[in-house]
Amino acid sequence: MSKSATLSEKRNDLTRSLIMESAYALLRTASVSALTVRAVAQQAGMSERTVFRYFPSRDALLDAVAAQLLEEMAVPAPPASVGALLEAPAALYGAFEARAELTRALLHTDLVERARALQASSRWKAVAAVLDAAAPASALDARRIAVANICYHLSASSWHYYRFQFGFSLDEAIACSGTALRQALAGLGAARP
């Protein structure tokens, strides 16, 4: 908000912030399915109509929630080298672990595809560029499969699966992901850093 913002602009920013804070408060106490415009309005102490002025539908509200949660997750930038790729499991899983409540909320059916749409493309492109540079002689199909496998192991879904399905510690989950990445790179004959 700039210093020259009008009173109306300041009020709009504050109202939007209150709506988002209310949505987060609901996420901390209920499931994403309980995150309705009506529930957010009640939590914020305002009318549904006011919420609809800022978010014309529940989908628009969920899009904004997913984007804000991803921003708050502070996940590291996609890798730009083989070395950064090999360090990515520790960095990403550490971010997921540090904000486990937010990560689990983002994995809810209503939010996960929105989050993926915001992040998956940039991670895919970055990993593809790393593999193209590290293993240019490998077949394109082999690189595409490796990119898909690596991106899968760099996802919150994989972190969650390792941590809560298998009951692995954070270090064990990072080791699982790291092993999968090293195997994918070795399968392509990629040069290691």
d(CA 115, CA 120): 8
pLDDT in tens, 35-72: 889 999 999 999 999 999 999 998 999 899 888 888 88
Among 27, 22, 24, 21, residue whose Cα is nearest residue 42: 22
Residue type, 79: P
pLDDT at 143: 96
Residue 1 pLDDT more than 60? Answer: no
Would you call 26 helix, strand, or coil by DSSP? helix
Nearest to 77 by CA among 108, 119, 117, 45: 119
CA dist 180 and 125 (Å) reads 19
Tell me: the pLDDT tens digits for 105-161? 888 877 888 888 888 888 999 999 999 999 999 999 999 999 999 999 999 999 999
Please count the other Cβ atoms lying within 10 Å of the Cβ belonging to residue 178: 18
Longest dimension (CA), the chain: 61
pLDDT in tens, 91-117: 999 999 998 988 888 888 778 888 888
Q: Which residue is listed with tokens 């493309």?
A: 121
Scored b (16 or more CB within 10 A) or e, 111-149 reads: bbebbbeebeeebbebbbebbeebbeebeeeebeebbeb
What per-residue confidence (pLDDT) applies to 50?
A: 94
Contact 131, 186 (CB under 8 A): no
Q: What share of the chain is helix, strand, coil (3-state, %, to 5)?
A: 80, 0, 20
Distance CA 101, CA 106 (A): 9
Residue 191's pLDDT is what? 65
Where do we find the tokens 């990629």? 190
CA–CA distance, 10 with 2 (Å, rounded to integer): 9
| Tens digits of residue pLDDT in 3-26 | 677 888 888 889 999 999 999 888
178 membership: H or E segment, kind and range: helix 170-188
